[in-house]
Amino acid sequence: MKKVFIKYSIVILFSSFLFIGCGLLFPQNSKKISVSFAESEAIQKEINVDSFSYKDIKEFDLYPITDETYYKDSVKQRGSLCGEFSVDQFIMEIDTIGIYKMSSNNDYQWESILSTIKQPSGYIIPQHFNIMYAKDIIREADISFSSADGLFIDFLPFLSHSNDGFYLMSMVGVDLGADYNDVILPNEIQNLPQGFPDSSLHYFSFSSLQPFKTGFLGTIVSGGDISEAGIQNPEGIFGVWDTIDGETTGNSSHVFLPGDAIGLSSIENAELTFAWDMTDLIQVYDNKTFSEKTDDVVTFNLSNPFPVSLIVREHINISPSEPGDTIPPGDVFSPAISGSNTYNTLQWINPTAYDFAYVSITRKAGSQPVDHTDGEVVYKGYKTCYYDSTGNSGTHYYYRICVQ
C-alpha cells in the first residue's frame, strides 16, 4: 500500500459557524479559532484489493470535443467573440475522484482517492468544493497502484436540489468587466445561495456553460491512454453507458481528455495535482446583436472547454515563513441542513484560505453552543459534509461549525 498526496492546483469555500435545530438552519456570527500554523493531521483511506471494480469496456464511442454538430443551438448561433475572461469562483459538486488502469485482459481497474459519502439510507451526500482553492480536497490517500493510466472525476453539474433533498451547487463566478455591470445575461443565476461571497460577480451553472446539447455532463477523464479529446453521448440521450468506474444508466455524458500516465513506483512520497486552468476559461459572444448585451452568449472557452491536466511529482512539506501566523482562515459559507427522524445531514463550503486545516462541529441539545467547547464535538475533518446519526430522535439539537 503506497501513501500518495493528492492535490488540485486550485480550493474550497463555506460559513465557519452554524446553528441548526429541529431541521431549521440558524447561521450566526461567532468567534473564530486562530492557530499558529494550520498543518492538518493526515487523513488516510485504506483501500483493499477486493474494493477494486472491473468493467469490460471495449469502446467508448467518442465524438470530437470541437465538433459543433453537438453544440447547443445558442452556442452554434453565438455570433462574434466579445471577450475572454478568467474565473474568480468555481464550485463543483463532486461525487468521486479516482485513478484507473487497463488490466492485462482489457478490463479497467480503478480505485477511489476521494470516495462518495453516503447516508445510512444509501443516498450519496454531495460534496461542495471550490476548485479555485482545491489543493486540499484530498489530503492523503493510500493506494496500491504503482502506476495508472489516468484520473477521473464524477460530479453533478447543476445548481438545484437533488431528488433526495440535498443542495447541489456546481457554478462559476466571473467578473465580465464594466460593459456588463447591471446587465443580466441569459442563464445567469439571480438568487445566490445563502452567505455566498463575491456577489458582484456574474454566476452561471456548470451545465449552462458547457457547450454541448447534453444537460448532464457528469464525468471528466484525463489519461495517457487517450489520444484525442472526445465526448461520449454529446446529445444527452437516455441509455446505458460504459464508464471508467462501471456502467451508468440515464442521459449523462462523459468527456475524455489526453493526459499523462501516472508513475508512482519511483517516487517515495508521490503527489498528484489535478489542475484546471482558469485563465480565459469563459468566452462571451454577441449573439449577432452587437449593441445589445442582455442576449450575449456565455460559454466555456470553445477552443478548450475543459483545460484539465495531471501532474505527478515528489511531495514536499513546506514550513510557513511566519510560524506566528494567527490570522484565522475565515468562515465556511452556504451552510445547509436536511433532516429525517433518525439523522441530520449538514453541508457547507470550506473557507477560501490556503492555511485552512479543518472544521469541527459541536452539537448541543436544547440550546446553542456558546463556543466550540460548549457541547459534544461530533465531527473534525476537512470534508464538506457530515451526517449525524448519533442523536436521539425527537431531541432539539443545535450545531456550531468552527474553522481552524
Residue 380 to residue 401: CA distance in whole angstroms: 10
Angle, vertex CA 226, rays to CA 115 and CA 237, nearest 5: 70
Provide the pLDDT confidence category of residue 184 given band limits of 50, 70 and 90. very high
Strands 270-276 and 2-8: parallel
Of the listed ranges 46-60, 87-101, 145-159, the one predicted with least confidence? 46-60
Question: Looking at residue 76, what is its pLDDT?
Answer: 95
Give the residue among 345, 338, 352, 344 at the shortest CA–CA distance from 403.
352
Residue of 351 and 50 predicted with greater confidence: 351
Question: Looking at residue 286, what is its pLDDT?
Answer: 97
Provide the pLDDT confidence category of residue 172 given band limits of 50, 70 and 90. very high
Question: Looking at residue 36, what is its pLDDT?
Answer: 20
Percent of the chain whose pLDDT exceeds 90 = 19
Of the listed ranges 40-49, 60-69, 322-331, the one predicted with least confidence? 40-49
Select, from the ranges 217-231, 254-268, 281-295, 368-382, the one with the highest average predicted confidence (pLDDT): 281-295
Question: Looking at residue 98, what is its pLDDT?
Answer: 83
Question: Looking at residue 153, what is its pLDDT?
Answer: 87
Residue of 291 and 12 predicted with greater confidence: 291
In this structure, what C-alpha cell is assigned to residue 366?
A: 436544547
- The answer on pLDDT for 23 being more than 50 is no
Residue of 193 and 242 predicted with greater confidence: 242
- The answer on pLDDT for 354 being more than 80 is no
Cβ atoms within 10 Å of 106's Cβ, excluding its own = 9
Cβ atoms within 10 Å of 333's Cβ, excluding its own = 23
Residue of 145 and 272 predicted with greater confidence: 145
Question: Looking at residue 35, what is its pLDDT?
Answer: 21
Question: Looking at residue 26, what is its pLDDT?
Answer: 33
Question: Looking at residue 325, what is its pLDDT?
Answer: 59
Percent of the chain whose pLDDT exceeds 70 = 74
Provide the pLDDT confidence category of residue 336 given band limits of 50, 70 and 90. confident
Distance of CA 172 to the CA centre of its chain: 11
End-to-end CA distance of the chain: 30
Question: Looking at residue 52, what is its pLDDT?
Answer: 33
> pLDDT by residue (tens digit) across 25-61?
333 322 222 222 222 222 222 223 233 333 333 345 7
Task: Specify the 3-state DSSP secondary structure of 81.
Answer: strand
> pLDDT by residue (tens digit) across 185-208?
999 998 876 667 677 899 999 999
Question: Looking at residue 209, what is its pLDDT?
Answer: 95
Provide the pLDDT confidence category of residue 147 given band limits of 50, 70 and 90. confident
- The answer on pLDDT for 290 being more than 80 is yes
Among positive and negative, which fits the CA dihedral 160, 384, 27, 343? positive
Rg (CA), the chain: 22
Provide the pLDDT confidence category of residue 162 given band limits of 50, 70 and 90. low
- The answer on pLDDT for 348 being more than 70 is yes
Question: Looking at residue 132, what is its pLDDT?
Answer: 73
Give the residue among 209, 126, 115, 110 at the shortest CA–CA distance from 162.
126
Helix (H) or strand (E) holding 94, with range, is strand 87-102
